[in-house]
Structure 1
Amino acid sequence: MTKKPILILVGTTEGRHLAYQASQRSDVQAIASLAGRTRRPDPPIANTRFGGFGGVSGLRDYLQDQGIEALIDATHPFAAQISIHALLAAREVGIPHLRLSRPPWVPQPGDCWRSVSSNAEAAECLPEVAQRVFLTIGRQELATFASLQQLWFLMRMIDPPQQTTAIPPGEILLARGPFSLEDERSLLRTYQIGAIVSKNSGGEATYAKLVAAREIGIPVVMVQRPTMPEMETVSDIQQVLTWLDGL
Protein backbone atom coordinates (compact mmCIF):
# COMPACT_ATOMS: atom_id res chain seq x y z
CA MET A 1 0.00 0.00 0.00
CA THR A 2 1.32 3.43 -0.94
CA LYS A 3 1.28 5.78 2.02
CA LYS A 4 -0.35 9.18 1.55
CA PRO A 5 1.89 12.04 2.72
CA ILE A 6 0.04 14.26 5.20
CA LEU A 7 1.24 17.33 7.08
CA ILE A 8 0.19 17.98 10.68
CA LEU A 9 0.81 21.44 12.11
CA VAL A 10 1.44 20.75 15.79
CA GLY A 11 1.01 23.33 18.56
CA THR A 12 -0.88 21.52 21.33
CA THR A 13 -0.67 18.36 23.42
CA GLU A 14 -3.50 16.91 21.33
CA GLY A 15 -1.54 17.74 18.20
CA ARG A 16 1.52 15.85 19.43
CA HIS A 17 -0.54 12.80 20.32
CA LEU A 18 -2.33 12.95 16.98
CA ALA A 19 0.98 13.12 15.10
CA TYR A 20 2.27 10.12 17.03
CA GLN A 21 -0.86 8.06 16.36
CA ALA A 22 -0.89 9.04 12.70
CA SER A 23 2.76 8.01 12.39
CA GLN A 24 1.80 4.48 13.48
CA ARG A 25 -0.71 4.05 10.64
CA SER A 26 0.04 2.01 7.55
CA ASP A 27 -1.96 4.19 5.15
CA VAL A 28 -0.36 7.60 5.72
CA GLN A 29 3.10 9.08 6.01
CA ALA A 30 2.69 11.73 8.69
CA ILE A 31 5.00 14.73 8.86
CA ALA A 32 4.70 16.81 12.02
CA SER A 33 5.60 20.49 11.82
CA LEU A 34 6.51 22.21 15.09
CA ALA A 35 7.05 25.95 15.07
CA GLY A 36 8.43 26.13 18.61
CA ARG A 37 11.75 25.30 20.19
CA THR A 38 10.87 21.85 21.53
CA ARG A 39 13.30 19.49 19.84
CA ARG A 40 12.16 16.36 21.65
CA PRO A 41 8.39 16.16 21.37
CA ASP A 42 6.59 13.85 23.77
CA PRO A 43 5.47 11.38 22.56
CA PRO A 44 8.28 11.06 19.99
CA ILE A 45 7.29 11.63 16.36
CA ALA A 46 9.26 9.93 13.59
CA ASN A 47 9.04 12.57 10.84
CA THR A 48 9.35 16.04 12.33
CA ARG A 49 10.28 19.43 10.91
CA PHE A 50 10.92 22.61 12.89
CA GLY A 51 10.34 26.26 12.10
CA GLY A 52 7.92 28.31 10.05
CA PHE A 53 7.15 28.24 6.34
CA GLY A 54 7.26 31.89 5.33
CA GLY A 55 3.60 32.75 5.04
CA VAL A 56 0.94 31.33 2.76
CA SER A 57 3.21 31.13 -0.26
CA GLY A 58 5.93 29.30 1.65
CA LEU A 59 3.49 26.77 3.04
CA ARG A 60 1.90 26.32 -0.40
CA ASP A 61 5.31 25.66 -1.94
CA TYR A 62 6.14 23.13 0.79
CA LEU A 63 2.86 21.28 0.25
CA GLN A 64 3.54 21.08 -3.48
CA ASP A 65 7.22 20.17 -3.18
CA GLN A 66 6.53 17.36 -0.70
CA GLY A 67 3.47 16.06 -2.53
CA ILE A 68 1.33 16.50 0.59
CA GLU A 69 -2.17 15.07 0.07
CA ALA A 70 -3.89 16.37 3.23
CA LEU A 71 -3.23 19.09 5.81
CA ILE A 72 -4.28 18.92 9.46
CA ASP A 73 -4.07 22.04 11.59
CA ALA A 74 -3.56 21.10 15.25
CA THR A 75 -2.09 24.42 16.37
CA HIS A 76 -3.04 26.42 19.45
CA PRO A 77 -6.54 27.96 19.50
CA PHE A 78 -4.95 31.43 19.63
CA ALA A 79 -2.52 30.80 16.74
CA ALA A 80 -4.94 32.44 14.30
CA GLN A 81 -2.37 33.50 11.72
CA ILE A 82 -0.93 30.05 11.02
CA SER A 83 -4.43 28.55 10.98
CA ILE A 84 -5.56 31.05 8.35
CA HIS A 85 -2.37 30.46 6.36
CA ALA A 86 -2.99 26.71 6.49
CA LEU A 87 -6.54 27.08 5.22
CA LEU A 88 -5.51 29.34 2.35
CA ALA A 89 -2.52 27.23 1.33
CA ALA A 90 -4.57 24.03 1.31
CA ARG A 91 -7.20 25.71 -0.84
CA GLU A 92 -4.59 26.97 -3.30
CA VAL A 93 -3.05 23.50 -3.64
CA GLY A 94 -6.45 21.81 -3.68
CA ILE A 95 -5.95 19.28 -0.90
CA PRO A 96 -8.24 18.29 2.02
CA HIS A 97 -7.85 20.44 5.14
CA LEU A 98 -9.04 19.80 8.71
CA ARG A 99 -8.62 21.76 11.93
CA LEU A 100 -8.36 20.05 15.31
CA SER A 101 -9.41 22.52 18.01
CA ARG A 102 -10.34 21.55 21.53
CA PRO A 103 -13.58 23.08 22.82
CA PRO A 104 -13.32 26.37 24.71
CA TRP A 105 -14.09 26.55 28.40
CA VAL A 106 -17.58 27.75 29.34
CA PRO A 107 -18.52 29.38 32.64
CA GLN A 108 -20.09 27.14 35.26
CA PRO A 109 -22.45 28.04 38.13
CA GLY A 110 -20.45 30.06 40.64
CA ASP A 111 -17.95 31.41 38.11
CA CYS A 112 -17.38 35.15 37.91
CA TRP A 113 -15.98 35.70 34.43
CA ARG A 114 -15.42 38.96 32.63
CA SER A 115 -15.07 38.20 28.93
CA VAL A 116 -12.77 40.39 26.85
CA SER A 117 -11.69 40.20 23.24
CA SER A 118 -7.96 40.85 23.67
CA ASN A 119 -5.12 41.16 26.16
CA ALA A 120 -5.24 44.91 25.66
CA GLU A 121 -8.88 44.96 26.77
CA ALA A 122 -7.98 42.77 29.75
CA ALA A 123 -5.24 45.23 30.78
CA GLU A 124 -7.62 48.16 30.43
CA CYS A 125 -10.19 46.73 32.84
CA LEU A 126 -7.84 45.25 35.46
CA PRO A 127 -7.41 48.32 37.71
CA GLU A 128 -11.10 48.18 38.58
CA VAL A 129 -11.02 44.40 39.15
CA ALA A 130 -8.10 43.62 41.49
CA GLN A 131 -4.73 44.83 42.81
CA ARG A 132 -2.99 41.44 42.81
CA VAL A 133 -3.38 39.50 39.58
CA PHE A 134 -2.48 35.99 38.45
CA LEU A 135 -1.47 36.45 34.81
CA THR A 136 -1.63 33.18 32.82
CA ILE A 137 -1.31 34.29 29.20
CA GLY A 138 2.22 33.03 28.52
CA ARG A 139 5.20 35.29 27.83
CA GLN A 140 4.45 36.76 24.41
CA GLU A 141 2.21 39.64 25.47
CA LEU A 142 3.52 40.59 28.90
CA ALA A 143 4.37 44.06 27.59
CA THR A 144 0.65 44.72 27.18
CA PHE A 145 0.39 44.83 31.00
CA ALA A 146 3.70 46.61 31.69
CA SER A 147 2.09 50.04 32.10
CA LEU A 148 0.01 48.85 35.07
CA GLN A 149 2.64 49.85 37.62
CA GLN A 150 0.06 50.26 40.37
CA LEU A 151 -0.83 46.54 40.28
CA TRP A 152 1.14 43.42 41.26
CA PHE A 153 1.31 40.37 38.99
CA LEU A 154 2.15 36.71 39.44
CA MET A 155 3.13 35.74 35.89
CA ARG A 156 3.18 32.02 35.11
CA MET A 157 4.75 30.73 31.90
CA ILE A 158 6.78 27.80 30.60
CA ASP A 159 9.85 29.72 29.40
CA PRO A 160 11.17 33.05 30.69
CA PRO A 161 10.56 36.21 28.68
CA GLN A 162 13.34 37.76 26.65
CA GLN A 163 15.48 40.22 28.59
CA THR A 164 14.31 43.08 26.39
CA THR A 165 10.62 42.42 27.11
CA ALA A 166 8.84 45.05 29.19
CA ILE A 167 7.04 43.30 32.05
CA PRO A 168 4.68 44.51 34.77
CA PRO A 169 5.72 44.57 38.45
CA GLY A 170 5.53 41.26 40.26
CA GLU A 171 7.00 37.77 40.19
CA ILE A 172 7.62 35.33 37.34
CA LEU A 173 6.78 31.68 37.98
CA LEU A 174 8.14 29.14 35.48
CA ALA A 175 6.00 25.99 35.37
CA ARG A 176 4.43 23.59 32.90
CA GLY A 177 0.97 22.04 33.37
CA PRO A 178 -0.98 20.05 34.16
CA PHE A 179 -1.63 21.72 37.50
CA SER A 180 -3.61 20.10 40.33
CA LEU A 181 -6.57 21.77 41.98
CA GLU A 182 -4.86 21.57 45.37
CA ASP A 183 -1.77 23.36 44.04
CA GLU A 184 -3.85 26.04 42.32
CA ARG A 185 -5.85 26.71 45.49
CA SER A 186 -2.63 27.00 47.48
CA LEU A 187 -1.05 29.33 44.92
CA LEU A 188 -4.03 31.72 44.87
CA ARG A 189 -4.11 31.90 48.66
CA THR A 190 -0.36 32.13 49.19
CA TYR A 191 -0.03 35.06 46.80
CA GLN A 192 -3.33 36.64 47.90
CA ILE A 193 -4.52 36.75 44.30
CA GLY A 194 -7.56 38.93 43.64
CA ALA A 195 -8.18 38.02 39.98
CA ILE A 196 -6.94 35.75 37.21
CA VAL A 197 -6.29 36.72 33.59
CA SER A 198 -6.51 33.73 31.27
CA LYS A 199 -6.81 32.93 27.60
CA ASN A 200 -9.75 30.65 26.81
CA SER A 201 -7.48 27.87 25.59
CA GLY A 202 -9.68 24.97 26.67
CA GLY A 203 -8.34 21.57 27.70
CA GLU A 204 -7.65 19.98 31.06
CA ALA A 205 -4.02 20.91 31.75
CA THR A 206 -4.74 24.38 33.16
CA TYR A 207 -8.45 24.17 33.96
CA ALA A 208 -7.86 23.69 37.71
CA LYS A 209 -7.07 27.40 38.17
CA LEU A 210 -10.64 28.20 37.09
CA VAL A 211 -12.09 25.70 39.56
CA ALA A 212 -9.91 27.17 42.31
CA ALA A 213 -11.07 30.69 41.41
CA ARG A 214 -14.70 29.52 41.57
CA GLU A 215 -14.20 27.93 44.99
CA ILE A 216 -12.37 30.90 46.46
CA GLY A 217 -14.70 33.40 44.82
CA ILE A 218 -12.33 35.53 42.76
CA PRO A 219 -13.08 36.88 39.26
CA VAL A 220 -11.49 35.66 36.01
CA VAL A 221 -10.82 38.04 33.14
CA MET A 222 -11.18 35.64 30.21
CA VAL A 223 -9.63 36.52 26.86
CA GLN A 224 -11.82 34.93 24.22
CA ARG A 225 -10.49 33.21 21.12
CA PRO A 226 -9.88 35.15 17.91
CA THR A 227 -12.53 34.93 15.23
CA MET A 228 -11.66 32.33 12.60
CA PRO A 229 -12.93 31.89 9.05
CA GLU A 230 -15.33 29.05 8.30
CA MET A 231 -13.47 25.74 7.99
CA GLU A 232 -14.02 22.05 8.71
CA THR A 233 -13.20 21.56 12.39
CA VAL A 234 -13.28 18.65 14.84
CA SER A 235 -12.67 18.59 18.58
CA ASP A 236 -10.86 15.33 19.33
CA ILE A 237 -8.21 13.00 17.95
CA GLN A 238 -10.58 10.13 17.15
CA GLN A 239 -12.56 12.39 14.83
CA VAL A 240 -9.36 13.22 12.97
CA LEU A 241 -8.45 9.54 12.62
CA THR A 242 -11.93 8.83 11.26
CA TRP A 243 -11.47 11.68 8.78
CA LEU A 244 -8.18 10.14 7.66
CA ASP A 245 -9.99 6.84 7.05
CA GLY A 246 -12.13 8.60 4.47
CA LEU A 247 -9.29 10.08 2.42
Structure 2
Amino acid sequence: MHVLILGGTTEARRLAELLHGTPGLTVTSSLAGRVASPRLPPGEVRVGGFGGTEGLTAWLREHRVDALIDATHPFAGTISFHAARAAATAHVPLLALRRPGWVPVHGDHWHDAASLEAAAALLPALGERIFLTTGRMGLATFADAALDELWFLVRSVDAPEGPRPARTELLLDRGPFTLDGERGVLRRYGIDVVVTKDSGGAATSPKLTAAREAGIPVVVVRRPPVPEGGSVVASPEEAVGWLGHTT
Protein backbone atom coordinates (compact mmCIF):
# COMPACT_ATOMS: atom_id res chain seq x y z
CA MET A 1 0.00 0.00 0.00
CA HIS A 2 1.27 3.46 -0.91
CA VAL A 3 0.32 6.47 1.24
CA LEU A 4 1.11 10.04 0.18
CA ILE A 5 1.32 12.59 3.02
CA LEU A 6 1.16 16.25 2.06
CA GLY A 7 3.30 17.52 4.89
CA GLY A 8 5.62 20.15 6.24
CA THR A 9 3.95 20.27 9.65
CA THR A 10 4.73 18.74 13.03
CA GLU A 11 1.66 16.51 12.68
CA ALA A 12 2.74 15.28 9.24
CA ARG A 13 6.20 14.38 10.50
CA ARG A 14 4.72 12.59 13.51
CA LEU A 15 2.38 10.64 11.25
CA ALA A 16 5.28 9.55 9.04
CA GLU A 17 7.12 8.40 12.17
CA LEU A 18 4.13 6.36 13.32
CA LEU A 19 3.75 4.69 9.92
CA HIS A 20 7.43 4.17 9.17
CA GLY A 21 8.45 0.54 9.13
CA THR A 22 4.92 -0.83 8.88
CA PRO A 23 5.12 -4.04 6.81
CA GLY A 24 3.57 -3.73 3.38
CA LEU A 25 3.28 0.06 3.62
CA THR A 26 5.19 2.66 1.60
CA VAL A 27 4.98 6.23 2.88
CA THR A 28 5.94 9.25 0.78
CA SER A 29 5.97 12.69 2.39
CA SER A 30 5.69 15.69 0.12
CA LEU A 31 7.14 19.03 1.23
CA ALA A 32 6.43 22.34 -0.50
CA GLY A 33 10.10 23.39 -0.39
CA ARG A 34 9.52 26.84 1.10
CA VAL A 35 11.92 26.23 4.02
CA ALA A 36 15.62 26.04 3.20
CA SER A 37 16.49 23.28 5.68
CA PRO A 38 13.29 21.44 6.63
CA ARG A 39 13.14 18.72 9.25
CA LEU A 40 12.76 15.65 7.12
CA PRO A 41 10.41 12.86 8.18
CA PRO A 42 11.39 9.20 7.89
CA GLY A 43 10.58 7.35 4.70
CA GLU A 44 10.54 8.62 1.15
CA VAL A 45 10.46 12.39 0.69
CA ARG A 46 9.72 14.55 -2.34
CA VAL A 47 10.14 18.33 -2.40
CA GLY A 48 8.31 20.84 -4.58
CA GLY A 49 4.90 21.42 -6.10
CA PHE A 50 2.92 19.04 -8.28
CA GLY A 51 1.74 21.50 -10.89
CA GLY A 52 -1.80 22.08 -9.68
CA THR A 53 -4.70 19.67 -9.54
CA GLU A 54 -3.83 18.03 -12.84
CA GLY A 55 -0.22 17.40 -11.81
CA LEU A 56 -1.22 15.94 -8.46
CA THR A 57 -3.84 13.71 -10.11
CA ALA A 58 -1.21 12.41 -12.52
CA TRP A 59 1.23 11.79 -9.65
CA LEU A 60 -1.36 9.81 -7.69
CA ARG A 61 -2.03 7.60 -10.69
CA GLU A 62 1.58 7.21 -11.82
CA HIS A 63 2.78 6.21 -8.34
CA ARG A 64 -0.29 4.11 -7.57
CA VAL A 65 -1.20 5.96 -4.38
CA ASP A 66 -3.82 4.13 -2.32
CA ALA A 67 -4.52 6.87 0.24
CA LEU A 68 -3.87 10.62 0.33
CA ILE A 69 -3.46 12.42 3.67
CA ASP A 70 -3.49 16.21 3.62
CA ALA A 71 -1.50 17.21 6.71
CA THR A 72 -0.46 20.64 5.44
CA HIS A 73 -0.48 23.85 7.45
CA PRO A 74 -3.97 25.23 8.17
CA PHE A 75 -3.11 28.30 6.07
CA ALA A 76 -1.81 26.35 3.06
CA GLY A 77 -5.26 26.54 1.52
CA THR A 78 -4.43 26.13 -2.17
CA ILE A 79 -2.85 22.69 -1.90
CA SER A 80 -5.82 21.45 0.14
CA PHE A 81 -8.23 22.33 -2.67
CA HIS A 82 -5.90 20.68 -5.19
CA ALA A 83 -5.77 17.59 -3.00
CA ALA A 84 -9.57 17.35 -2.73
CA ARG A 85 -10.05 17.64 -6.47
CA ALA A 86 -7.19 15.30 -7.34
CA ALA A 87 -8.33 12.62 -4.89
CA ALA A 88 -11.85 12.75 -6.30
CA THR A 89 -10.60 12.54 -9.88
CA ALA A 90 -8.15 9.70 -9.19
CA HIS A 91 -10.63 7.89 -6.89
CA VAL A 92 -8.17 7.89 -3.98
CA PRO A 93 -9.45 8.03 -0.37
CA LEU A 94 -8.67 11.43 1.18
CA LEU A 95 -8.07 12.35 4.80
CA ALA A 96 -7.51 15.86 6.14
CA LEU A 97 -5.38 16.01 9.28
CA ARG A 98 -6.33 19.35 10.83
CA ARG A 99 -4.91 20.41 14.18
CA PRO A 100 -7.58 22.18 16.28
CA GLY A 101 -7.55 25.96 16.26
CA TRP A 102 -6.79 28.04 19.35
CA VAL A 103 -9.60 29.12 21.66
CA PRO A 104 -9.37 32.26 23.82
CA VAL A 105 -9.51 31.85 27.58
CA HIS A 106 -10.16 34.23 30.45
CA GLY A 107 -7.66 37.08 30.40
CA ASP A 108 -6.98 37.02 26.65
CA HIS A 109 -7.33 40.26 24.70
CA TRP A 110 -7.82 38.88 21.20
CA HIS A 111 -8.80 40.85 18.12
CA ASP A 112 -10.24 38.79 15.29
CA ALA A 113 -9.07 39.43 11.72
CA ALA A 114 -10.36 37.80 8.57
CA SER A 115 -7.07 38.31 6.67
CA LEU A 116 -3.56 39.70 6.96
CA GLU A 117 -4.85 42.93 5.42
CA ALA A 118 -7.50 43.20 8.13
CA ALA A 119 -4.87 42.48 10.79
CA ALA A 120 -2.62 45.25 9.46
CA ALA A 121 -5.51 47.74 9.56
CA LEU A 122 -6.06 47.07 13.28
CA LEU A 123 -2.48 47.73 14.39
CA PRO A 124 -2.24 51.56 14.60
CA ALA A 125 -5.02 51.61 17.21
CA LEU A 126 -3.50 48.83 19.33
CA GLY A 127 0.17 49.62 19.83
CA GLU A 128 3.53 50.65 18.41
CA ARG A 129 5.86 47.67 18.85
CA ILE A 130 4.54 44.66 17.00
CA PHE A 131 5.62 41.03 17.33
CA LEU A 132 4.74 39.66 13.89
CA THR A 133 4.63 35.84 13.96
CA THR A 134 2.75 35.17 10.72
CA GLY A 135 5.85 33.92 8.86
CA ARG A 136 7.70 35.44 5.95
CA MET A 137 4.94 34.76 3.44
CA GLY A 138 2.64 37.76 3.30
CA LEU A 139 5.09 40.10 5.00
CA ALA A 140 4.57 42.61 2.18
CA THR A 141 1.05 43.19 3.53
CA PHE A 142 2.60 45.11 6.44
CA ALA A 143 4.93 47.15 4.21
CA ASP A 144 2.35 49.91 4.09
CA ALA A 145 3.05 53.61 4.47
CA ALA A 146 0.19 53.78 6.97
CA LEU A 147 2.29 51.55 9.26
CA ASP A 148 5.62 53.36 8.89
CA GLU A 149 5.45 54.71 12.45
CA LEU A 150 5.19 51.21 13.90
CA TRP A 151 8.15 48.96 14.76
CA PHE A 152 8.00 45.26 13.85
CA LEU A 153 9.81 42.26 15.24
CA VAL A 154 9.42 39.66 12.49
CA ARG A 155 10.04 36.03 13.43
CA SER A 156 10.48 33.37 10.75
CA VAL A 157 12.51 30.25 10.04
CA ASP A 158 14.25 31.73 6.98
CA ALA A 159 15.04 35.33 6.14
CA PRO A 160 12.17 36.93 4.20
CA GLU A 161 12.57 38.31 0.70
CA GLY A 162 10.72 41.20 -0.87
CA PRO A 163 8.99 44.17 0.77
CA ARG A 164 8.88 44.46 4.54
CA PRO A 165 7.77 47.12 7.04
CA ALA A 166 9.92 50.26 7.13
CA ARG A 167 11.03 49.65 10.73
CA THR A 168 11.79 45.94 11.04
CA GLU A 169 14.06 43.69 13.06
CA LEU A 170 14.37 40.02 12.10
CA LEU A 171 14.37 37.16 14.56
CA LEU A 172 15.27 33.92 12.79
CA ASP A 173 14.08 31.02 14.89
CA ARG A 174 12.20 27.74 14.62
CA GLY A 175 9.64 26.32 17.05
CA PRO A 176 8.65 24.71 19.25
CA PHE A 177 8.95 27.70 21.57
CA THR A 178 8.90 27.70 25.37
CA LEU A 179 6.85 29.91 27.64
CA ASP A 180 9.94 31.33 29.32
CA GLY A 181 11.43 32.05 25.92
CA GLU A 182 8.32 33.88 24.73
CA ARG A 183 8.13 35.89 27.95
CA GLY A 184 11.72 36.92 27.32
CA VAL A 185 11.00 38.02 23.75
CA LEU A 186 8.07 40.21 24.80
CA ARG A 187 10.07 41.77 27.60
CA ARG A 188 13.36 42.20 25.73
CA TYR A 189 11.82 43.93 22.72
CA GLY A 190 9.14 45.90 24.57
CA ILE A 191 6.34 44.28 22.57
CA ASP A 192 2.86 45.75 23.01
CA VAL A 193 0.97 43.84 20.27
CA VAL A 194 1.27 40.26 18.98
CA VAL A 195 0.03 39.25 15.52
CA THR A 196 -0.47 35.58 14.73
CA LYS A 197 -2.34 33.26 12.43
CA ASP A 198 -4.65 30.74 14.08
CA SER A 199 -2.21 27.92 13.38
CA GLY A 200 -3.28 25.85 16.38
CA GLY A 201 -1.10 23.27 18.07
CA ALA A 202 1.29 23.49 20.99
CA ALA A 203 4.53 24.37 19.16
CA THR A 204 3.79 28.09 18.89
CA SER A 205 1.04 28.59 21.48
CA PRO A 206 3.28 29.77 24.38
CA LYS A 207 3.30 33.27 22.88
CA LEU A 208 -0.45 33.44 23.57
CA THR A 209 0.08 32.59 27.24
CA ALA A 210 2.93 35.09 27.51
CA ALA A 211 0.77 37.80 25.94
CA ARG A 212 -2.10 37.00 28.30
CA GLU A 213 0.18 37.26 31.34
CA ALA A 214 1.51 40.61 30.13
CA GLY A 215 -1.92 41.99 29.24
CA ILE A 216 -0.86 42.42 25.61
CA PRO A 217 -3.48 42.38 22.84
CA VAL A 218 -3.21 39.64 20.21
CA VAL A 219 -4.48 39.98 16.65
CA VAL A 220 -5.54 36.51 15.47
CA VAL A 221 -5.98 35.90 11.74
CA ARG A 222 -8.76 33.41 11.07
CA ARG A 223 -8.13 30.26 9.07
CA PRO A 224 -9.12 30.17 5.39
CA PRO A 225 -12.00 27.91 4.32
CA VAL A 226 -11.24 24.24 3.71
CA PRO A 227 -12.64 22.12 0.87
CA GLU A 228 -15.46 19.70 1.42
CA GLY A 229 -15.03 15.99 0.84
CA GLY A 230 -13.05 13.28 2.54
CA SER A 231 -12.68 12.56 6.23
CA VAL A 232 -11.21 14.87 8.89
CA VAL A 233 -9.22 13.99 12.03
CA ALA A 234 -7.39 16.10 14.60
CA SER A 235 -4.29 14.01 15.43
CA PRO A 236 -1.71 11.74 13.79
CA GLU A 237 -2.92 8.85 15.95
CA GLU A 238 -6.44 9.27 14.58
CA ALA A 239 -4.99 9.33 11.08
CA VAL A 240 -3.34 5.97 11.71
CA GLY A 241 -6.71 4.61 12.82
CA TRP A 242 -8.41 5.97 9.70
CA LEU A 243 -5.77 4.35 7.53
CA GLY A 244 -6.35 1.01 9.23
CA HIS A 245 -10.06 1.19 8.49
CA THR A 246 -9.42 2.35 4.91
CA THR A 247 -7.26 -0.65 4.14
Q: What are the superposed Cα offsets for residues 19-67 of structure 1, whole Å, 9 maximum, x if unpaired? A: 2222221132111111125587546422111111000000000001111
Conservation of the 8 A alpha-carbon contact between 2:84 and 2:228: no
The structure whose RCO (Cα within 8 Å, separation 6+) is larger is: 2
Equivalent residue, structure 2, for 1:245 = 244
Could you say if the C-alpha distance between residues 41 and 189 of structure 1 is closer, same or farther in structure 2, counting changes exceeding 3 Å? closer
The secondary structure found in structure 1 opposite 2:96 is strand
CA distance in 1, matches of 2:91, 2:42: 26
Equivalent residue, structure 1, for 2:29 = 32
- 1:130 Cα offset (Å): 0.7
Equivalent residue, structure 2, for 1:79 = 76
Select 1:203's aligned residue among 194, 201, 204: 201
Q: What are the superposed Cα offsets for residues 91-126 of structure 1, whole Å, 9 maximum, x if unpaired? A: 001110001011000001100100111000000111
Select 2:66's aligned residue among 57, 66, 69: 69
The code of the aligned residue for 2:97 comes to L
Conservation of the 8 A alpha-carbon contact between 1:16 and 1:41: no
Equivalent residue, structure 2, for 1:187 = 185
- 1:170 Cα offset (Å): 2.2
Equivalent residue, structure 2, for 1:21 = 18
Conservation of the 8 A alpha-carbon contact between 2:113 and 2:221: yes
Conservation of the 8 A alpha-carbon contact between 1:142 and 1:168: no
Aligned length: 243
The secondary structure found in structure 1 opposite 2:127 is coil
TM-score (structure 2 length as normaliser): 0.94
CA distance in 2, matches of 1:183, 1:238: 29
The code of the aligned residue for 1:65 comes to E
The secondary structure found in structure 2 opposite 1:114 is strand
CA distance in 1, matches of 2:51, 2:25: 25
TM-score (structure 1 length as normaliser): 0.94
